[in-house]
């Protein structure tokens, strides 16, 4: 079932809202969730694993995404944009979403790892 939900991420460095002197690097990311299956699903929860450039890990869990628990019908997609502050100019994000299908069965969908990197940072 989880393979019927396609997750894509488009991260970007946000220099306008970063404060490099204070060590705050802000990244935005756009997530697209596509339902390639044959039944409607609803996103219930998220679990992010965020690792900064020094290897420090932070787990972020919560209900829904951006205040919503979207229902995604077959052939449809849902997009949202959020952000992640880091204390280093690079890092990674990955994790999982918990969905429920029309029979009430919950299942996990992995979020593939993607990189957060200030393009002005060498290395």
Residue 119 has a pLDDT of 82
**Angle CA(107)–CA(68)–CA(25) in degrees, nearest 5?**
95
Residue 1 has a pLDDT of 54
As a whole number of angstroms, the distance between CA 31 and CA 81 comes to 6
pLDDT tens digits in sequence order for the chain, 123 residues long: 566 999 999 999 999 999 989 999 999 999 999 999 999 999 999 999 999 999 999 999 999 999 999 999 999 999 999 999 999 999 999 999 999 999 999 999 999 999 999 887 755
Going along the chain from its start, the domains and CATH numbers come out as 2-117 (2.60.40.1470)
Identify whether the C-beta of residue 99 lies closer than 8 Å to the C-beta of residue 41: yes
């Amino acid at each position: 079932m989880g393979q019927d939900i396609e997750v894509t991420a488009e991260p970007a460095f946000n220099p306008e809202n970063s404060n490099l002197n204070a060590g705050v690097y802000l990244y935005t990311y756009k997530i697209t969730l596509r339902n390639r299956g044959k039944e409607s699903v609803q996103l219930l929860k998220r679990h992010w694993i965020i690792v900064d450039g020094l290897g420090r890990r932070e787990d972020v869990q919560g209900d829904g995404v951006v205040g919503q628990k979207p229902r995604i019908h077959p052939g449809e997609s849902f997009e949202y944009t959020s952000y992640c502050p880091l204390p280093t100019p690079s890092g990674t994000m990955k994790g999982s979403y918990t969905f429920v299908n029309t029979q009430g069965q919950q299942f996990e969908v992995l979020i593939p790892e993607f990189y957060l990197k200030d393009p002005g940072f060498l290395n």
